């Protein structure tokens, strides 16, 4: 039994999660919407997330086979796609035993596939590099790759690629990338997957047979330019409690390095969360938090276990009051901007010592 003393936690709104999935799926009704739960469901607890979504989702996606096995061990029976494919030849045997789908991106994986081909019955996904230049086969190599596959594998083939700028609604590159993939899809009469979260909203032509729903599943907009994302609701609310309140006089400093000093007599609240919990150490003074119905600023440096907040302007504040770091009232994007990072990193860096608790 885990004893919880601090009350620092990430509350996971599973109703919002399911509603986000259903809403985004409705935008691409002809596609099979994959729920991407890699990196512990973007820091939201993959077991919680997958069990909430399993009645609604045909296919989950994870980064590597270890994550898929963890889902199986927790009782998830849905199909699971391994986005980075096999790291070892033995991964093919495991994939066959547990009904995992493998995405292949390199010649060595094709060699492994050929040695297992008679035993594999699942769809094989081939990653095509259309301009991301990270993983995938060159377009000119696809004909040769497919020619090596047996008839059954060719008939069950899914071609996949990944946008590099789909969050930019005015970018021409997503259109160009899709134009590179589609001739191959037509040539081989196969299924395809191109759209990530931003692609679903910004580039409807990319929806294809499968869309890959990641960030937007968790209620965070993948683009600043699409009104459709206003219906998304944040799934995670990161909270901690005030554990001390002090008065600081004009000219006195707060925190390591003396980076902030009071310009007025100030009331400073110390909150039980820090960079060891995944709250960004480089969050600047002025980064917003939400206490008792008001937005107030962090002051001083983030410590390992604590942050300090200027609560001078709050009429009512006391030890034990709850502080929202991001979630329903504080946009994670505002915290990311104040910390010179991105929302993805903040979500996935919430540490294991912060309990993930389903909203009641």
DSSP 193-209: E---HHHHHH-GGG--S
Q: How confident is the model at residue 276 (pLDDT cuts 50, 70, 90)?
A: very high
Topology (CATH) of 31-222: TIM Barrel (3.20.20)
With a pLDDT cut of 90, the percent of the chain lying above it is 90
Measured distance CA(41)–CA(21) in Å, rounded: 13
Q: How confident is the model at residue 228 (pLDDT cuts 50, 70, 90)?
A: confident
C-alpha 168 chain-centroid distance: 18
pLDDT digits (tens, 9 = 90+) for 292-312: 999 999 999 999 999 999 999
**From the candidates 88, 108, 187, 256, which is the catalytic residue?**
256
38 is catalytic: yes
At 118 the pLDDT is: 63
pLDDT above 80 for 249: yes
pLDDT digits (tens, 9 = 90+) for 18-61: 999 999 999 999 999 999 999 999 999 999 999 999 999 999 99
At 320 the pLDDT is: 97
Q: How confident is the model at residue 2 (pLDDT cuts 50, 70, 90)?
A: confident
At 121 the pLDDT is: 62
108 is catalytic: no
State the DSSP H helix or E strand holding residue 86, giving kind and residue range, or none if neither.
none
Domain boundaries for CATH 2.40.37.10 within the chain:
236-358
Q: How confident is the model at residue 227 (pLDDT cuts 50, 70, 90)?
A: confident
Query: Looking up tokens 């259903």, which residue turns up?
Result: 22
Measured distance CA(308)–CA(274) in Å, rounded: 10
Measured distance CA(188)–CA(249) in Å, rounded: 73
Cβ proximity of 346 and 339 under 8 Å: yes
At 193 the pLDDT is: 98
134 marked among binding-site residues: yes
Q: How confident is the model at residue 360 (pLDDT cuts 50, 70, 90)?
A: confident
Measured distance CA(290)–CA(286) in Å, rounded: 12
Mean pLDDT over the full length of the chain: 95
Q: How confident is the model at residue 1 (pLDDT cuts 50, 70, 90)?
A: low
Q: How confident is the model at residue 225 (pLDDT cuts 50, 70, 90)?
A: low
**From the candidates 21, 38, 127, 356, which is the catalytic residue?**
38
Reduce the DSSP state of residue 26 to 3 states and report it.
helix
Given CATH 3.40.50.460, say whether it is the number of domain 236-358: no
Domain boundaries for CATH 3.20.20.10 within the chain:
31-222
pLDDT digits (tens, 9 = 90+) for 84-139: 999 999 999 999 899 999 999 999 999 999 887 666 667 889 999 999 999 999 99
Positive or negative torsion for Cα 158, 159, 164, 169: negative
At 224 the pLDDT is: 76
pLDDT above 80 for 343: yes
State mean pLDDT over 337-344. 97
In sequence order, what are the residues at sequence separation of 6 or more whose Cβ sits closer than 8 angstroms to the Cβ of residue 179? none
């Amino acid at each position: 039994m885990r004893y919880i003393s601090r009350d620092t936690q990430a509350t996971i709104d599973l109703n919002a999660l399911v509603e986000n999935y259903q809403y985004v799926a409705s935008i691409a009704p002809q596609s099979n919407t994959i729920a991407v739960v890699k990196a512990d469901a973007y820091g939201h607890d993959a077991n919680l997330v997958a069990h909430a979504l399993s009645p609604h989702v045909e296919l989950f996606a994870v980064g590597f086979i270890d994550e898929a096995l963890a889902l199986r061990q927790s009782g998830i029976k849905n199909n699971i796609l391994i986005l980075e494919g096999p790291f070892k030849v033995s991964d093919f045997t495991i994939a066959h035993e547990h009904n995992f789908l493998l995405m292949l991106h390199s010649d060595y994986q094709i060699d492994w596939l050929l040695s297992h081909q008679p035993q594999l019955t699942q769809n094989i996904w081939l990653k095509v590099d259309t301009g991301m230049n990270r993983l995938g086969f060159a377009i000119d190599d696809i004909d040769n790759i497919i020619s090596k596959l047996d008839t059954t594998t060719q008939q069950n083939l899914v071609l996949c690629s990944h946008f590099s700028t789909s969050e930019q609604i005015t970018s021409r590159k997503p259109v160009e990338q899709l134009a590179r993939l589609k001739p191959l899809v037509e040539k081989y009469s196969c299924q395809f997957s191109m759209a990530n979260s931003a692609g679903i909203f910004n580039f409807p032509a990319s929806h294809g047979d499968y869309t890959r729903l990641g960030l937007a599943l968790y209620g965070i907009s993948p683009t600043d330019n699409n009104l459709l994302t206003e219906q998304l609701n944040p799934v995670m609310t990161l909270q901690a409690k005030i554990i001390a309140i002090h008065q600081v006089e004009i000219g006195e400093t707060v925190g390591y390095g003396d980076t902030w000093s009071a310009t007025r007599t100030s009331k400073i609240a110390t909150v039980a969360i820090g960079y060891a919990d995944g709250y960004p150490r480089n969050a600047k003074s002025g980064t917003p938090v939400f206490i008792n119905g008001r937005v107030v600023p962090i002051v001083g440096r983030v410590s390992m276990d604590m942050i300090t907040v200027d609560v001078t302007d709050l009429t009512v504040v006391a030890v034990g009051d709850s502080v929202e770091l991001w979630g329903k009232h504080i946009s994670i994007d505002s915290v990311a901007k104040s910390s010179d990072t991105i929302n993805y990193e903040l979500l996935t860096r919430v540490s294991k010592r912060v309990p993930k608790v389903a909203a009641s």
